[in-house]
Structure 1
Amino acid sequence: MEPAPGPARVVMVVPNRIDGDSRVQKAAASIAAAGWETHLIGVSVTGKQEPYEQDGAVIHKIPLPKMDPPRSFRRNAAALRYPLAYVDLERAKRRERHLKAARLELEALRGGGDVHGGVRLPLLAHRVGRRLERAWVGRRVRQTKQRERYLKRDGRLDRIERRWWGALLGDRAWRRLDIAMQRFELAYRPEIVELEPDLLHAHDAYSIGVCVRAAEHLRRKGKTVAVVYDAHEFVPGHEGLEPNKLEAQSRWERQYLPGADAVVTVSHPLAKLLKARHGLDREPSVVYNAPLAHPAPRPDPGDLRSDCGLDAHTPLAVYIGWASPERQIEVIVEAARLVPGLHVAFMVSRHTTNPYVKRLIALGEEYGIADRLHFRGYVDYEDLPRFIATADMGIHPMPTGSVNHEIALPNKFFEYCHARLPLIVTEVKTLSAEVRRLGNGEVFTSGDARSLAGAVERILADKDGYRRAYKDPALLEEYSWEHQAREYVRVYERLIGPAPSPSPGLEQALPPQALPPKALPPKALPPKEV
């Protein structure tokens, strides 16, 4: 008698460290809870592979190999323009350290400290030699720094190069513009092939080509593999990427997205954009990055108001998320100055070392409100809604103008909703429309501190009124990860059939972090049953 078939094997691929990517972690936990054997491949920054088990999924962290950047037109021009430059800045710094050590040696000779040893050159010869070496190394170091600045530019030469390779290679031009895709593929391909998945789930644009190419490789060996592409953003609208990387990523996605058997994304406007850009037969499925409505029992994380040392009557706003100049968080500090007694808690990345956070602190000191600004790090995402629930409102000052901002329903929105906080958002299209539809917050003019201050005052005057939207249980049910994850299950069942041993229900089986990660020895992976 043949053994009963085991569950289909799912391998998720993500181009980051996994830690901090709540959508990816929740997705892996959801698919494992639904009954499929689940693996998640991400980046290791320790220089070695890190396998472990978490929330029913096996995690594989793999270091990325180092590769030289593409030999671009600008890089070739830099080699001619700065022929004396060192290979890189690190080599230049090492030579500068050598010169400092030589200077100390010369100082010892001047003082007569080096009295032991054999033949010594006259002091004058040492001084002349060191002076010549300083001049030579100094020139090379200057050229190295000049070359690095030159390489960071993007001008006519770079535009010509992008057009040239685009005309010559079409969407395959990505390989001449950025090496990141090849680094991910070199790292991940062996693990994917060894796991022999039934379904590959590509999170984000960098992963789509890696998964499609690996699936094609496995199919040539006789293995049937389905591919799901989970588009987290609209790649051509990605601000902050240097032009060559943006062009490469856009072409990479456009070349390999047609190889996906299903596409999932994070909002309905983005689904429409993807359908139009890639000529899809149907709009991608939508899975909001919503929080867990029923997290597993955990130790009490405390609450934000107590963490800030505030009583129940002190006005308190909260901002959670990445801290960078592009987020324009300083408008919150400027607005706090205009609202008497308002305290603001910033739960941000690297809150003690981030240069931008230090600038926000300095701005608060300049305005004389430093004692009303509270900076702290993240809490675990499953604890976040109840931790921030003691605030009076949540603020998201997302700047207008960017395509990705205009179409986004970010996880902050859902986290504030589950904390039952009134929201204050900018007039970005999708987010502001949802806040106005629900009546759970106010909209202010992006970058305008007075507009934000007015919104804060309106919410403080009627906090309970803005919270009425949360009395409808259907709203928070729709905005829960447990509800959203069902769409993943539907997509998977369409592609690889139902799991042979379905879980008792996502609501009961889903909560991540119920158990601490369990370390596995390298390659100690469960064999797939046949």
Structure 2
Amino acid sequence: MALPRVAAFTDTYLPTVNGVTYTVKTWREQWTRRDSEMDVIYPRSEHQATAGEHPVSSLPFPFYEGFRVAAPQIPTAVEAADVVHAHTPFSLGLAAKRFARSNDAPLVASYHTPTGEYAEYVSLNGTIERLIRNCATRYERWFLNGADVVITPSERTARHLRETVGVSTPVKVLANGVDTDFFAPMETAAFRERHGLPDGPLVGYTGRHGYEKCLDDIVAAAEGLDVTLVFGGDGPAREDLEATAEAADVDAHFLGFLDRAELPELYAALDVFAFPSPVETQGLVALEANACGTPVVGVDSGALSGTIDDGVTGYKYPEGDTNAFGDAIERALDESERLRERCLDRRGETSVEHSVERLADIYEQVI
């Protein structure tokens, strides 16, 4: 049976690297391998579009580095789409909603990131931030209830949408999936040498450096541990994070933005992947680290409560307790070989191929 043609709208895309862009990119790659089309509509940037990628006019967003505000345009090349998929709720999400209505096509909406988590970037004080968060929740409810189905990567996030946000549209849980052919165990000596990383245990993180990720907690947890910290990625919180690490009694290396080809080497080089972010809807980088054989120590909050299998793929700790965070890191280092084997045993359950097969079923249901 032929797969439907999909028009995927996203307000964040390459060259920005985050969970949304990675998911859109890998799902599209898997979809085209199945001899079907998944067009991507995204804000025009430095990324050079290939066939099936349609940039629209955009401007830099002044409050959030790397994010662009797109004009809510609909390229004529996607008008034959059978399904419209909105990956974000902003200007291109609104364009997706309008396009689906005008073409009598089903609208699928993915819930990747809580909109309210961006409040601190545009607010001047706590009162304004709370107001923006409340408005964001109401906006999410309106936007998601206009879809035919909402996809979210974890059951915990699905409950949040139903019980807290008040989404009445059917919500289906679909993990974003990991490319387990790409993210796999490998030799790391060359990576260590290339980036000047010393011998001994490495504890690190890669991804967007946002304030809501609480990356300062990694520095606090590592004080007193005989480890080297490694941070890959970039973002608005990086400068402050570097200052925090410099003032603390830790050995920290900031590698900046890494080419995607280096990510499996980074994950495999780490003895523990540290993940203090309480705002994740899945925590895809945790699953990527596990696929490379690296256990994750993360906060027992948000989707990470379900993503991390305590004592199997890593350990969890109570939110805000950096002492417990450090203890969990130390325990994971002591049990690294056992945890590594358990992580590798779980690789098949998290593959992107499995996720895209389920995505095809969801599309067929809404059609």
Letter in 1 for 2:255: R
**Structure 2 segments unaligned to the other structure (5+ residues):** 124-128
Instruction: Tell whether 2:231 aligns with 1:376.
Output: no
Q: Secondary structure at the match of 1:470?
A: helix
* 2:106 pairs with one of 226, 231, 235: 226
Q: Paired residue for 2:82?
A: 198
Equivalences for residues 393-412 of structure 1 within 5 A: 393-399=272-278, 404-405=279-280, 408-412=281-285
Equivalences for residues 240-255 of structure 1 within 5 A: 240=120, 242=123, 246=133, 249-255=136-142
Instruction: Tell whether 2:10 aligns with 1:10.
Output: no
Post-superposition shift, 1:238? 6.1
Q: Paired residue for 2:338?
A: 465
* Distance in 2 between residues matched to 1:247 and 1:448, nearest whole Å: 27
Q: Secondary structure at the match of 1:389?
A: helix
CA contact (8 A) 2:268 2:294 kept: yes
* Distance in 1 between residues matched to 2:322 and 2:183, nearest whole Å: 39
Structure 1 pair 482–301 and aligned structure 2 pair: CA distance change class (3 A)? farther
Q: Paired residue for 2:50?
A: 52
Post-superposition shift, 1:203? 0.7
Alpha-carbon deviations, 1:71-91, whole Å to 9, x = none? Answer: xxxxxxxxxxxxxxxxxxxxx
Alpha-carbon deviations, 1:375-433, whole Å to 9, x = none? Answer: 1123344652343202211101124xxxx45xx32112111211211221122154245
Q: Paired residue for 2:160?
A: 273
Q: Secondary structure at the match of 1:395?
A: strand
* 1:336 pairs with one of 206, 222, 228: 222
* Distance in 1 between residues matched to 2:76 and 2:198, nearest whole Å: 53
* Distance in 1 between residues matched to 2:73 and 2:41, nearest whole Å: 7
* Distance in 2 between residues matched to 1:212 and 1:331, nearest whole Å: 39
CA contact (8 A) 1:321 1:347 kept: yes
* 2:294 pairs with one of 410, 421, 439: 421
Q: Paired residue for 1:481?
A: 352
* Distance in 1 between residues matched to 2:258 and 2:73, nearest whole Å: 30
Letter in 2 for 1:392: D
Q: Paired residue for 2:126?
A: none
* 1:210 pairs with one of 61, 77, 95: 95
Letter in 2 for 1:289: N
* Distance in 1 between residues matched to 2:142 and 2:301, nearest whole Å: 30
Post-superposition shift, 1:8? 4.3
CA contact (8 A) 1:335 1:452 kept: yes
* Distance in 2 between residues matched to 1:419 and 1:380, nearest whole Å: 17
* Distance in 2 between residues matched to 1:388 and 1:32, nearest whole Å: 28
* Distance in 1 between residues matched to 2:32 and 2:141, nearest whole Å: 30
Instruction: Tell whether 2:242 aligns with 1:361.
Output: yes
Q: Paired residue for 1:349?
A: 234
Post-superposition shift, 1:65? 7.0
* Distance in 1 between residues matched to 2:25 and 2:189, nearest whole Å: 23
Q: Secondary structure at the match of 1:442?
A: strand
* Distance in 2 between residues matched to 1:37 and 1:471, nearest whole Å: 33
* Distance in 2 between residues matched to 1:448 and 1:258, nearest whole Å: 36
CA contact (8 A) 2:7 2:78 kept: no
* Distance in 2 between residues matched to 1:423 and 1:7, nearest whole Å: 36
Post-superposition shift, 1:37? 1.8
Q: Paired residue for 2:57?
A: 63
* Distance in 1 between residues matched to 2:352 and 2:254, nearest whole Å: 28
* Distance in 1 between residues matched to 2:239 and 2:119, nearest whole Å: 24
Letter in 1 for 2:208: W
Q: Paired residue for 1:138?
A: none
Equivalences for residues 60-459 of structure 1 within 5 A: 60-64=54-58, 184=70, 186-189=71-74, 191=75, 195-206=79-90, 207-219=92-104, 225-235=105-115, 239-240=119-120, 242=123, 246=133, 249-276=136-163, 277-280=166-169, 282=170, 284-295=171-182, 304-310=191-197, 314-340=200-226, 342-349=227-234, 356-367=237-248, 369=250, 372-381=251-260, 383-399=262-278, 404-405=279-280, 408-428=281-301, 430-437=303-310, 439-459=312-332
Root-mean-square deviation (CA), in Å?
Answer: 3.5
Q: In percent, how many aligned pairs have the same letter?
A: 21
* Distance in 2 between residues matched to 1:17 and 1:294, nearest whole Å: 23
* Distance in 2 between residues matched to 1:230 and 1:454, nearest whole Å: 36
* Distance in 1 between residues matched to 2:327 and 2:188, nearest whole Å: 32
* Distance in 2 between residues matched to 1:338 and 1:414, nearest whole Å: 28
Q: Secondary structure at the match of 1:228?
A: strand
Letter in 2 for 1:391: L
Which of the pair has the greater relative contact order for Cα pairs under 8 Å at 6+ separation? 1
Q: Secondary structure at the match of 2:158?
A: helix
Letter in 1 for 2:213: R
CA contact (8 A) 1:193 1:218 kept: no
Post-superposition shift, 1:436? 4.4
Which structure would you say has the larger Rg? 1
Number of residues of Structure 1 aligned to a counterpart in Structure 2: 347
With structure 1 as the length reference, what TM-score do the two structures score? Answer: 0.57
CA contact (8 A) 1:201 1:211 kept: yes
**Structure 1 segments unaligned to the other structure (5+ residues):** 67-151, 153-179, 220-224, 497-530
CA contact (8 A) 2:174 2:358 kept: yes
CA contact (8 A) 1:234 1:270 kept: no
Letter in 2 for 1:52: T
CA contact (8 A) 1:14 1:41 kept: yes
